[in-house]
C-alpha cells in the first residue's frame, strides 16, 4: 500500500450517499480518516451503520460521491491488491463446514499466498483476538462469542503487520462478555497505533465507543447527527433525541470520557 502521510488520509469519503431524497438509506456525507485513528460508528437500529460499511467496502455502490483508499478511488483498486491493505469483518459469517479454528483464520492470508494453518501469523492474530485458547477446535462446535473472536482473528491476519491498512469491523463485540470486550479492544487499539492502521468500528455500546475511539460518528435514519470527539458527540440531549431513551450521561474526569446509563 502507498505510504500514507498526515496530509493523505487512509480513507476519504466524499459526499457519499445511497438512495434518493424521498428514500435515503444514507444521506450525503463526507469524512477523512487518518492513519492511527479509530472511528466508532454509532446509532440506533436502521440508522445506516451497516450501509456505510457496505459503501466503504464497495459491496454497495453509492448513488453519489466516491470512496477513496489511500487517495485512490475504491473501484480503481485490483481486488487482490486491495485485500492486502483492507480487511472487513461482517456482523455474522456463518460456517457450516467443520474447519478447525486455525484453518478459518488462515483464510485471511489467501491474498498473500501463505494461507497455511500453522503460520506464525495465524497464531499471533488468534492471540490478539482472544481466540488462541480455541486453537484446534472445530468452528461449528463453538459458541457465538467464540466464533466471533475467530472471525476477528481472520480479518486481523489478512492485514497483519501491514502499515497504514484499513480495518472495517461491524459489531465485533456484540457477543463478547465484559472481560473479552476489554481484552480485545485493548489489543485492537494497540495494533492500530503500532501499525498506523485506520479502524472504522460499528458499535452499539456507547460506553465502549466512548472509551475506545478517537472520534465518533453518530447516525440516525441515514443522516449524520454528529462527528467529532466522543466528549463532543455524546451529550445528553443528542443521545436522548437519537435513541428516544431516558438516560443520564456521566463525565469521567480521569479519562475525559462520557459514560451513559439508562434511567429506571
**pLDDT tens digits for range 72-93:** 999 999 999 999 999 999 987 7
Mean per-residue pLDDT of the chain: 92
Predicted local distance difference test score (pLDDT) of residue 17? 97
pLDDT at 179 over 60: yes
**Mean local confidence (pLDDT), 135-150:** 95
**pLDDT tens digits for range 159-176:** 999 999 999 999 999 989
Which residues are CB-neighbours of 45 under 8 A, at least 6 positions away? Answer: none
pLDDT at 202 over 80: yes
**Mean local confidence (pLDDT), 229-255:** 89
**Mean local confidence (pLDDT), 98-112:** 95
Q: What is the CATH number of domain 1-85+162-264?
A: 3.40.50.300
- If pLDDT is split at 50, 70 and 90, which confidence band does 3 have? very low
Task: Identify the CA nearest to 257 among candidates 40, 43, 45.
Answer: 40
Predicted local distance difference test score (pLDDT) of residue 2? 46
- If pLDDT is split at 50, 70 and 90, which confidence band does 237 have? very high
Predicted local distance difference test score (pLDDT) of residue 51? 95
Highest mean pLDDT among 83-87, 95-99, 247-251: 83-87
pLDDT at 254 over 90: no
Predicted local distance difference test score (pLDDT) of residue 7? 53
Percent of the chain with pLDDT over 70: 97
pLDDT at 1 over 60: no
Domain boundaries, the chain: 1-85+162-264, 94-161
Predicted local distance difference test score (pLDDT) of residue 38? 97
**Mean local confidence (pLDDT), 244-261:** 84
**Mean local confidence (pLDDT), 87-100:** 85
**pLDDT tens digits for range 204-232:** 999 999 999 999 999 999 999 999 999 99
**pLDDT tens digits for range 18-44:** 999 889 999 999 999 999 999 999 999
pLDDT at 249 over 90: no
Amino acid at each position: 500500500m502507498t505510504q500514507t502521510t498526515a496530509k493523505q488520509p487512509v480513507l476519504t469519503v466524499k459526499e457519499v450517499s445511497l438512495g434518493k431524497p424521498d428514500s435515503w438509506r444514507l444521506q450525503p456525507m463526507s469524512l477523512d480518516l487518518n492513519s492511527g485513528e479509530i472511528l466508532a460508528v454509532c446509532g440506533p437500529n436502521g440508522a445506516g451503520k451497516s450501509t456505510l460499511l457496505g459503501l466503504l467496502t464497495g459491496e454497495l455502490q453509492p448513488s453519489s460521491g466516491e470512496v477513496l483508499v489511500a487517495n485512490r478511488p475504491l473501484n480503481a483498486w485490483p481486488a487482490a491488491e486491495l485485500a492486502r491493505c483492507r480487511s472487513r469483518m461482517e456482523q455474522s459469517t456463518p460456517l457450516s463446514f467443520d474447519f478447525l479454528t486455525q484453518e478459518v483464520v488462515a483464510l485471511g492470508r489467501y491474498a498473500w499466498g501463505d494461507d497455511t494453518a500453522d503460520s506464525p501469523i495465524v497464531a499471533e492474530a488468534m492471540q490478539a483476538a482472544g481466540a488462541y485458547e480455541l486453537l484446534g477446535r472445530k468452528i461449528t462446535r463453538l459458541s457465538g462469542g467464540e466464533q466471533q473472536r475467530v472471525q476477528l482473528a481472520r480479518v486481523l491476519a489478512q492485514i497483519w503487520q501491514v502499515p497504514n491498512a484499513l480495518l472495517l469491523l461491524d459489531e465485533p463485540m456484540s457477543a463478547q462478555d465484559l472481560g473479552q470486550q476489554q481484552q480485545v479492544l485493548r489489543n485492537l487499539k494497540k495494533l492500530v497505533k503500532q501499525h498506523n492502521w485506520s479502524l472504522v468500528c460499528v458499535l452499539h455500546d456507547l460506553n465502549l465507543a466512548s472509551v475506545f475511539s478517537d472520534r465518533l460518528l453518530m447516525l440516525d435514519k441515514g443522516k449524520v447527527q454528529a462527528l467529532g470527539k466522543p466528549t463532543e458527540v455524546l451529550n445528553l440531549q443528542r443521545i436522548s433525541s437519537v435513541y428516544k431513551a431516558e438516560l443520564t450521561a456521566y463525565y469521567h474526569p480521569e479519562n475525559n470520557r462520557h459514560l451513559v446509563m439508562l434511567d429506571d
